[in-house]
Chains A and B, each alone.
Chain A
Amino acid sequence: MAAELEPPYLHPDYRSTVLRAPSRPLLRLPEEWFHTAPGPAFGRVPVAPGDANLTRQHAGEPLGERIIVSGRVLDGDGRPVRGTLVEVWQANAAGRYVDAGDDHPAPLDPNFTGAGRCLTDGDGRYRFLTVKPGAYPWRNHPNAWRPAHIHFSVFGPELASRLVTQMYFPGDPLLPLDPVLQAVPEQRGRDLLVSAFDLELTEPEWALGYRWDIVLRGRAATPLET
Chain B
Amino acid sequence: MGPRPLPTPSQTVGPFFGFALPFPGDAEAAVLETGALRIEGQVLDGEGEPVAEAILEAWQGDQFARCRTDPEGAFHFLVSKPARAAQAAGRRPAPHLELTVFARGLLRQLATRIYFPDEAQANAADPVLALIEPARRGTLVARAEGGVLHFDVRLQGAGETVFFAL
Structural contact, B45 and A20, CB atoms closer than 8 A: yes
User: Residue-by-residue, is B1-36 near A (CB-CB < 8 Å gives 1, otherwise 0)?
Assistant: 110111111111111111111011110010000000
Contact with B along A36-76 (1 / 0, CB 8 A): 01011111111000000000000000000000000000101
Closest to B5 in A: A215
Q: Which residues of B contact A35 (CB under 8 A)?
A: 166
With a CB–CB cut-off of 8 A, which chain A residues contact B24? 46
Interface hub of B29, B107, B127 (most chain A Cβ within 10 A): B107
Shortest distance in angstroms between A51's beta carbon and chain B's nearest beta carbon? 11
A164, B5: Cβ atoms closer than 8 Å: no
In the complex, which residues 81-108 of chain A have their Cβ closer than 8 Å to any Cβ of chain B?
87-89, 91, 97-102
- Cα of A166 to Cα of B20 in the assembled complex, Å: 14
Interface check A78, CB cutoff 8 A: yes
CB contacts (< 8 Å) of A26 on chain B: these are 163-166
Size bracket, chain B contacts? 35 or more
Q: Is B149 engaged at the interface, CB distance under 8 Å to the other chain?
A: no
Residues in chain B near residue A29, CB distance under 8 A: 128, 131, 164-165
A193 CB within 8 Å of chain B: yes
Question: What B residues does A14 contact at CB under 8 A?
Answer: 12, 105, 107
Give the distance in Å from the alpha carbon of A149 to the alpha carbon of B161 in the complex: 31
CB distance from B35 to the nearest CB of A (A): 18
Q: Which residue of B lies closest to A74 (CB)?
A: B5
Q: 1/0 per position for A189-222, CB-CB distance to B under 8 A?
A: 1101100000000000000000001111100100
Chain A interface mostly helix, strand, loop or mixed?
loop
With A20-B45, A27-B164, A33-B128 known as contacts, the answer to whether A189 contacts B59 (CB < 8 A) is no
B29 touches A44 (CB 8 A): yes
A16 touches B156 (CB 8 A): no
**Chain A residues in 8 Å Cβ range of B108:** 6-7, 9
CB distance from A181 to the nearest CB of B (A): 7
| Residue ranges of B at the interface with A (Cβ–Cβ < 8 Å) | 1-2, 4-21, 23-26, 29, 45-47, 49, 51, 53, 57, 59, 61-64, 66, 91, 98, 100, 102-111, 127-128, 131-132, 136, 155-157, 160-166
- Other CB < 8 Å A-B pairs besides A5-B9, A89-B19, 5 of them? A76-B7, A151-B13, A159-B111, A180-B12, A216-B7
A contact residues vs B (CB 8 Å cutoff):
2, 5-9, 11, 14, 16-24, 26-29, 33-35, 37, 39-46, 74, 76-78, 87-89, 91, 97-102, 113-115, 151, 153, 159-160, 162-166, 180-181, 183-184, 188-190, 192-193, 213-217, 220, 224
User: What 3 A-B pairs have minimum CB-CB distances, sorted nearest first?
Assistant: A16-B105, A89-B20, A115-B20
